[in-house]
Amino acid sequence: MYKARHARRSRRRVTLPMLVLIAALCVAILVFPTSASGAAAAPDAVAGARSAMSSNASAGSYSVVPSAQHGGSVTPSASDAVAGSTVTFVVEPQSGFETAFVSAITASGGTIEVLRVKGETYKFVMPAAGVTIDVGFQYKRA
């Protein structure tokens, strides 16, 4: 009888610290999200590239970071651009893929208007912030 009561008490001692630990982890996950989408449901490319974005305040130029998903690549005309200048980029799907979407996203998560120039060549006007060019691909439709 003594052993049975003692075994129950020792389980309670282990359970309470475990529950506290689980609660602390849940709070930490809610307060400090670790997902790629970040706090404001920003696209994954932005969250992953924010740390790569920088500005050169003396020259007024901002970084242009290409981000292509599986199935192709994106090549911008420049890696840095001055606010107000036009940045062009070329999207190259791999064999068997086609372009699903093209977007330009600022470091703060805002989107920029992207215009198709011709074929798979696009352009946008550089804002006063770093930009990620996010391109997604899909299998070609039959």
Compute the half-sphere exposure of residue 63: CA atoms within 13 Å on the CB side of its CA: 14
pLDDT of res. 77: 93
pLDDT per position as a tens digit, 98-135: 999 999 999 888 999 999 999 999 999 999 999 999 99
pLDDT per position as a tens digit, 5-49: 555 555 455 566 766 777 777 666 666 554 444 444 444 444 444
Write down the pTM of the prediction.
0.60
Alpha-helix residue ranges (DSSP H) falling in 36-142: 44-49
Distance CA 136, CA 129 (A): 22
Tokens of 68: 């292509």
Given a contact cutoff of 8 angstroms between Cβ atoms, the answer to whether 68 and 102 are in contact is: no
